[in-house]
């Protein structure tokens, strides 16, 4: 596989996913349920186990509450393989000189499902409840993230909208047995699926047809002028009228 069709699709989709969720702010309440303080929740690209390891071995490096996000798997989505078309044709740019205008061929992308695991880690149950209520009501049944077609393929950016589907399940774990030196932490794990695309390498384009030269020759047929002798030249190739019709 020498084409190396790397277009940062997975990275761009993951950035968009985190951007859609990375604005969680929770409140600290008193006994009267009045907000005394507000705290932003940190998103970290890492498995939950790594975050817990850093909490134990690197004090103050990561503070709670925190949310860990990582890719759990990638698979082809056969339900979104609509046809067997090889691809589509696009005009490269309207800003180039006419002599350089080309129509490029973009191969059909592959629909992929990117699995995301999201783990919430907090000290307090109230913090956990607030974080969960930040996304559960808004992912029913999915959200849409927007990104663009790879820039090197098209001169005019094309928007792509990908659905992010929530699994609908959250697994909450409590520390039932703790040593005297272990802090109390609550963790919750859930999963999402990003309906994304992966692109093949673009292929060489073809020049656009800019001019059509027409040479006409009048032919006498029993004294009448007919159009049987009309000759068309298209990109320096000669075509007669019957060939065109």
Predicted confidence at residue 88, as pLDDT, reads 72
User: Which backbone phi and psi does 242 adopt, to 5 degrees?
Assistant: -60, -35
The answer to whether residues 114 and 19 belong to one domain is yes
Whether residue 196 sits in one domain with residue 140: yes
Residue-number span of the structural domain to which 141 is assigned = 9-80+110-202
- Helices (DSSP H) in 22-154: which residue ranges? 48-57, 125-135
Query: Both 193 and 228 in a single domain?
Result: no
**Does 223 share its domain with 167?**
no
Q: Are residues 151 and 191 part of one domain?
A: yes
Q: Verify that 146 and 239 share a domain, yes or no.
A: no
- Which region holds residue 223: left if phi is over 0, alpha if psi is between -120 and 50, else beta? left
Q: How many CA atoms lie within 13 A of 119 on its CB side?
A: 19
**Cα angle 144-21-169, degrees, rounded to a multiple of 5:** 80
Largest CA distance in the chain: 114
pLDDT of residue 86: 77
Q: Is 57 inside any structural domain?
A: yes
Q: Has residue 129 been placed in a domain?
A: yes
CB-based contact 118:192 (threshold 8 Å): yes
Spans of the chain below 70 pLDDT: 1-3, 53, 55-61, 90-102, 151-156, 178, 180-181, 202-245
Question: Nearest-CA neighbor of 147 among 163, 159, 134, 130?
Answer: 159
Q: What is the pLDDT of residue 107?
A: 81
Judge if 55 and 119 occupy the same domain.
yes
Query: Does residue 94 lie in a domain region?
Result: no
Q: Strand 42-45 to strand 66-76: parallel, antiparallel, or no bridges (unpaired)?
A: parallel
| 127 domain residue, yes or no | yes
Which two structure tokens, joined as six digits, stand for 193? 């699926």
- Separation between Cα atoms, residue 49 and residue 68, nearest integer Å: 9
Question: What one-character DSSP code corresponds to residue 59?
Answer: T
Please state the domain count of the chain: 2
pLDDT at 96: 57
The pLDDT tens digits of the residues spanning 205-224 come to: 666 666 666 666 555 555 44
Rounded Cα–Cα distance for residues 25 and 134 (Å): 9
Are the C-beta atoms of residues 187 and 163 closer than 8 Å to each other? Answer: no
| pLDDT of amino acid 189 | 95
pLDDT at position 214, please?
A: 67
């Amino acid at each position: 596989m020498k084409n190396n069709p790397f277009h940062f699709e997975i990275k761009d989709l993951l950035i968009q996913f985190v951007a859609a969720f990375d604005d969680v702010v929770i409140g600290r309440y008193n006994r009267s349920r009045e907000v005394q303080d507000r705290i932003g929740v940190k998103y970290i690209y890492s498995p939950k186990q790594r975050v817990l390891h850093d909490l134990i071995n690197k004090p103050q490096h990561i503070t709670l509450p925190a949310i860990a996000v990582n890719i759990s798997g990638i698979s082809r989505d056969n339900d979104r393989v609509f046809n067997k078309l090889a691809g589509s044709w696009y005009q490269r740019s309207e800003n180039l000189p006419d002599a350089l205008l080309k129509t490029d061929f973009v191969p059909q992308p592959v629909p992929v499902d990117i699995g995301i695991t999201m783990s919430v880690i907090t000290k307090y149950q109230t913090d956990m409840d607030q974080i969960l209520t930040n996304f559960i009501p808004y992912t029913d049944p999915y959200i849409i993230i927007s990104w663009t077609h790879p820039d090197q393929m098209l001169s005019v950016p094309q928007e792509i909208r990908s659905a992010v589907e929530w699994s609908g399940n959250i697994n909450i774990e409590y520390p039932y047995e703790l040593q005297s030196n272990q802090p109390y932490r609550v963790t919750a794990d859930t999963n999402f699926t990003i309906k994304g695309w992966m692109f093949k390498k673009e292929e060489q384009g073809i020049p656009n047809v800019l001019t059509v030269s027409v040479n006409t020759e009048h032919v006498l047929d029993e004294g009448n002028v007919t159009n049987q002798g009309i000759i068309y030249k298209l990109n320096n190739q000669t075509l007669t009228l019957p060939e065109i019709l």
